[in-house]
Structure 1
Amino acid sequence: MPRRRPLLPALAALAALALVPSTAAAQSSGLSTDARYENGPTGRYLVGGQWLLRMDPKFDGQRQGFQSQTSTDGWTPISVPHAWNATDESETSFMGTVGWYRKDFKLPSGNRRFSWVMRFESVNYRSRIYLNGKLIGQNRGAYLPFEIRLPPSVLKRGGATNRLVVRVDSRRFSTDFPPSGLSVTGAPTGGWWNYGGLLREVYLRRIDGIDFSTAVVRPDLPCGTCDASLTYRATLRNYGERARRVTVRGKLGSRTINVGTVTVGPKKFATLQRRVGVRNPRVWDVGKPSLYDTTLTATSGGRTLQRFRNRTGIRSIKVANGELFLNGKRLNYRGFGLHEDSKDRGFAIDNATRDQQIAWAQEAGATLLRSHYPLHPHYYERLDELGMLAWVEVPVYAVKTQYLKQALVRRLAARELESAVLTNQNHPSIITWSIGNELSARPGPVQGSYIAEAVRRAKAIDPSRPVGYAVAGYPAAGCQPEYKPLDVIGINEYFGWYPGPNGQIADRELLSDYLDSVRACYGDKAIVITEFGAEANRDGPVEEKGTYLHQQDFVNYHLGVYASKPWLSGAVWWGLQEFRVRPGWEGGNPRPEPPIHQKGVVRFDGSKKPAFFDLQRLFKATTQVAAR
């Protein structure tokens, strides 16, 4: 009798997990059609209810907080979205660890004509997905969705229980986005708090043979008073074993658009495209968010197979003569940066929290939001509905040149941008794709190679929007030819707050001349302020950094300088609300409260600092969209 080969350790562990008896609560699937955002394919089931979590005992991690709640088999009941270190501000928490999530579910239908896909909206950072003890897929990255098909050979139908297990490794490395590591003094580094887990929701998607791989409705508005056109583009995927003849129709309000008919081979893809005119369009604008229903539907043999819900705003965003124009009107927006964070849930916030952040921004008179990574889809849907703007950026933040010089790292970074564009391109609120934030302020061929490739990829998918990049603002940086492919230059300027290299930004009186020098370098590009801000956490004199009076003075001085630059296309205060950054964060404040970033003008508890009202006064006094 032949000897049986031992299982690999990871597979052996998964085999053991698959044999753990299910509790009654775990057997309850908790599936519902209560999606947390509206646009996208139909047939989505939110995978809610009870999940189970177990921290991996082989790794130092966040096990202590679960010991009192853990069941006898080592699993802790939780709900998803979930950050396992939501309230742990320790250095160990920030450095990351490994956890296992488990969910038992039954398919909503046992019909064998259906295929099933599991969609993860954001997992931080490396994940492996197992179904019924079998590895079925893996992913690297956070802040963007990914999908894993559930293999028919592994999937259990007919009312049987399936077991989904997800291994999540939240440890970050110097080549990740954003990177993490240790400083020269051994302190952990990173752009913002490293929350681990299934940070956004998980969906089970039903596919009836044909799926929309991509579905895009792109507006073209030559001028603010012109007739427009819409380009419908749908790429279909056939999950079946036989060819299907499929017709795709779209909506344009109450009008039906025949996009076309195509035969899609088994396991193949096919693309349809049609451009249609729109006379006297209702234009989407800041504060005037006219939206059209442009939902796409795929049918075959008289049966609807898939529908992609979509709403589109007809508008144009262009750079001309070094300025941004929305529908032919000059932009000079005012906005806020933000991060998804809360005291009790960490990154795993809900839509009510997101809506509150947007409401604060509106109250302050802001018309744009920016983050260091793509936000949850609910943000962009609400900005679409409210007539607010978005700067969408990928977390290619502060990657050191020694790592960016690796061809694989540059390809992964460009692919990150490509994924962000593919995911979010139907939102009229989005006016700029940003390729990253604060790489070396003195770029050379390595960064130039990344910039060129990232811009090329973004424009290949979406030629209708400008591509930008947020740079650290230092006078010594000079003019950089590597920025030539960009349409928009974002300046992160902290003159008078941080000293900067060799103290070159310590004096705020140098700000005006510096901005003029940037304009002289990049006269054909739109220039915006992507960050400015100062920490505040206490009362005290205006001369003392970290006081509320100092923050107010910082607001008034910087916005006063911007008002003297008629060519500026916008400015963003960093940030709206406080959030966690990293252990030891001081942010230029002589009396910091790490790890909290306290440049936010709304405290972590939701109360407003005095500078909020200074921003409100000055934002509302600014003409953010010029009269036609």
Structure 2
Amino acid sequence: MSLAPRRTLLILVPVVLAAVLLAILLLPGGPTTSRAAAGDTAEPTKPVTISGPFGRIALGGPWTVAEDARNTGLRAGWRGGNFSGKDVTIPYVPNAGRITGAGGVISHRGSIAWYRTKIQVDADGQYAIAFGSVNHHATVWVDGKQVADHTGEFLPFDARMSLKAGEHTLVVRADWRDPEKMKADGWHRLWFNFGGINREVTIRKLGPSEVQAPYVTTTLGGGAAKVRISAEVVNRSVERDVRLTGVLRRDGQDIQVEFPSVRLKPKETRRVQTEVTVQDPALWAPGSPNLYDLTLAVPNESAYQTRIGLRQIEKRGTNIFLNGERITLRGASIHEDAPGYGTGLRPEQMDSLVGDLKEIGANATRAQHPLSPALLERLDAAGILLWQGVGPTDSPGSWKSDTPAKAAVARQRVQTTLDEQQTHPSIVVWNLVNEIARNGGTDNGQVPYIRAMSKKLKTEDPGRLTALDVWATPVKYTAKDPVGGARVPERMGSVYRDIDAIGVTSYQGWYSDPGKSMAFLKDSIRRFTGEIKRIYAGKILVLTEFGAEANGENATNRPGGYGYQADLLKTTIDAYSADPAMSGTIVWNLRDFGVAPTFIGGSIRRTYKGTIRLVRGLNQKGLFTYGGRPKPSVAPVRAALQRAADDLQK
């Protein structure tokens, strides 16, 4: 077996940190402004994500990738890099080209892939290789020595090691076999099982300290913004006093950020906090997404850069207020999925998703899994609010994180996402559960998890709302049951105590009473929302999931057709938006996306007994096709969302 040609990536050791900090803290146009803005094309060694530790270099490629469906690579010694394959750039999802048909069934079951690249460093020292996401289980070796082991996609992790100056071989084994076992272990997915390294990889040299996990919370008053800033400082040296400092910058205005000095033992990590006042701030909001550059540094040692928005989110009664004005959330949900790339989106595909949201006039979107920081930066720059799922995502009414060990992993998933994403102004809501049934499960640990995480988020991140998505699709209305058998409680239990907002999943006109007239749909929504408002009294209510599948294989005005989808979406948005107690509507979904090949429409096919034509392995509820072509529903949805926005201003 001949080995693939060697590829080398040069890692430049950061310049003397005193000079770097001078550039960061004193000179205009420092490293933050020299990086690619959201939507720009990144340079080959420049990370796609702006936010992060200073001195990161992207390991985009080339990499060599080899599939290992028979799991022979470990026995063959591939950890040392002695395998051949094809050259790719990262992110790269090996099975992204096969999601439907017989090939999609095999692809979804999962496989193993090995990745290899060469890195070269020009100085001895400690280094960290950061992975944005690997599905599902990742093992990392450098020069044949294991340096990291991690489970779970959409969760960042570091591989840390000492390196001598010179060339080194980096190898990653990604194992995404058996999605059913993943589900049983608390790693359920509501999308296709795309495997491999699906977010960017970077490397950086470590110094005597680190700055990580910055948090920002804004409170407005008297024409000023009080900005509470905190970050974790890690001491990698001897016991000593460490002082964090920084600067908040926008349009030539520099606001110094000073923290108290702290005494840290070797390897100790501590969160430090301060507050600054910004007079006459440029606030962040849809339509005016003003951003500030924030750099935090331990002088001469380490730094962290990010972009933030100054904005205040509040719950007032049952309404959402942004910067003192009521807002409603209007848009469509998104999945990170593109044909041929799967979850390994490139910048141009992220830009395309944001462009589609703009085309429908959205001011908000929703995601069931933590979005990539690079995509979040694009939502920040576009002024699009995000209802962000955090922690385990399970099927409706289900909860598989049902042992102490799995519950601990679930809690850590929330912490990891909070640490990675807290500074993004676009995130308005942390949603803890997808489609909880009634008052949740007490015997499977769901209620204790929600109670603990909702309290934690409200304490550590008070500038956002906490939410639960509820499984509320009616089944059949009766005189005694105005919610039609939806899995909602008769009255709220303790699980909702620290929850601000309820995301309602209700597929009226699709899974419930499909094919009925739009007049019937309006009346059923009126009856349904009246009861939902009673049950969830005092909570913000947003319709976060509704819609219908559509393709050209069905008669346009029947369920499954383009005309029926357009009428259902327009009618639903208008009906819910007419109720002043509702705080928004978010269509499911912006684009068609890949799902398990066992999915072919769900209960709608039982209703129509095979007369409806859908595609196995592809959820076609999107306003745009999988390839990004707008469906006929785009124009009426855009108009309905605009009517909702206009009504709010009356």
TM over 0.5: yes
Cα deviation for residue 442 of structure 1 reads 5.2
Map of 2:89 onto structure 1: 79
Map of 1:422 onto structure 2: 419
On the 8 A contact 2:241/2:261 being kept in 1, the answer is: no
- Per the alignment, in what secondary structure is the counterpart of residue 379 of structure 2? helix
Cα deviation for residue 196 of structure 1 reads 0.6
**d(CA) in 2 for partners of 1:236, 1:123:** 26
- Per the alignment, in what secondary structure is the counterpart of residue 260 of structure 1? coil
Cα deviation for residue 627 of structure 1 reads 5.3
- Computed over aligned residues only, the root mean square deviation of the Cα atoms, in angstroms, reads 2.9
Q: How does 1:70-469 map to 2 (within 5 A)?
A: 73-89=83-99, 90-107=104-121, 109-110=122-123, 112=124, 114-150=125-161, 152=162, 155=163, 157-159=164-166, 161-172=167-178, 176=182, 190-221=189-220, 226-241=223-238, 243=240, 245-253=242-250, 254-299=254-299, 303=300, 305-394=301-390, 396-398=392-394, 401=398, 403-441=400-438, 443-445=440-442, 446-469=445-468
Please report the TM-score for the alignment, with normalisation by the length of structure 1.
0.85
**d(CA) in 2 for partners of 1:286, 1:97:** 42
- Per the alignment, in what secondary structure is the counterpart of residue 405 of structure 1? coil
Cα deviation for residue 174 of structure 1 reads 5.4
**d(CA) in 2 for partners of 1:594, 1:402:** 25
Identify the range of structure 1 (565-574 vs 210-219) with the bigger mean alpha-carbon deviation: 210-219
Map of 1:606 onto structure 2: 628
| Structure 1 residues 43-95: Cα deviation after superposition (integer angstroms, max 9, x where no partner) | 1010122212222353499xxxxxxxxx9954332221111101122212111
On the 8 A contact 1:30/1:49 being kept in 2, the answer is: no
Residue 43 (str. 1) matches residue 55 (str. 2): yes
Residue 26 (str. 1) matches residue 13 (str. 2): no
**d(CA) in 1 for partners of 2:220, 2:549:** 42
Mind listing any 5+ residue stretches in structure 1 that lack a counterpart? Answer: 1-19, 62-70, 182-188
Cα deviation for residue 247 of structure 1 reads 4.0
| Structure 1 residues 591-613: Cα deviation after superposition (integer angstroms, max 9, x where no partner) | 00222111111112222111011
- Per the alignment, in what secondary structure is the counterpart of residue 38 of structure 1? coil
Mind listing any 5+ residue stretches in structure 2 that lack a counterpart? Answer: 13-43, 74-80, 474-482, 606-611
On the 8 A contact 1:575/1:599 being kept in 2, the answer is: yes
**d(CA) in 1 for partners of 2:551, 2:184:** 27
**d(CA) in 1 for partners of 2:641, 2:184:** 31
Residue 548 (str. 1) matches residue 562 (str. 2): yes
**d(CA) in 1 for partners of 2:568, 2:381:** 32
- Per the alignment, in what secondary structure is the counterpart of residue 436 of structure 1? coil
Map of 1:7 onto structure 2: none
One-letter code aligned to 2:257: I
Percent of aligned positions that are identical: 27
| Structure 1 residues 144-186: Cα deviation after superposition (integer angstroms, max 9, x where no partner) | 2111212x2xx3x222x212221211125557479799xxxxx
One-letter code aligned to 1:265: K
Q: Which residue among 623, 633, 639 is the counterpart of 1:617?
A: 639
- Per the alignment, in what secondary structure is the counterpart of residue 437 of structure 1? coil
**d(CA) in 2 for partners of 1:386, 1:250:** 24
On the 8 A contact 1:143/1:374 being kept in 2, the answer is: yes
| Structure 1 residues 421-444: Cα deviation after superposition (integer angstroms, max 9, x where no partner) | 111110111100111212444523
One-letter code aligned to 1:466: L
**d(CA) in 2 for partners of 1:144, 1:451:** 20
**d(CA) in 1 for partners of 2:472, 2:178:** 27
Map of 2:538 onto structure 1: 524
- Per the alignment, in what secondary structure is the counterpart of residue 622 of structure 1? helix
One-letter code aligned to 1:487: D
- Per the alignment, in what secondary structure is the counterpart of residue 535 of structure 1? coil
**d(CA) in 1 for partners of 2:270, 2:198:** 33
1:72–1:425 CA distance, 2 compared to 1 (3 A): closer
**d(CA) in 2 for partners of 1:360, 1:331:** 21
1:473–1:523 CA distance, 2 compared to 1 (3 A): same
One-letter code aligned to 1:119: A
Please report the TM-score for the alignment, with normalisation by the length of structure 2.
0.83
On the 8 A contact 2:570/2:636 being kept in 1, the answer is: yes
Figure out how many residues of one structure are paired with residues of the other and give that number.
576
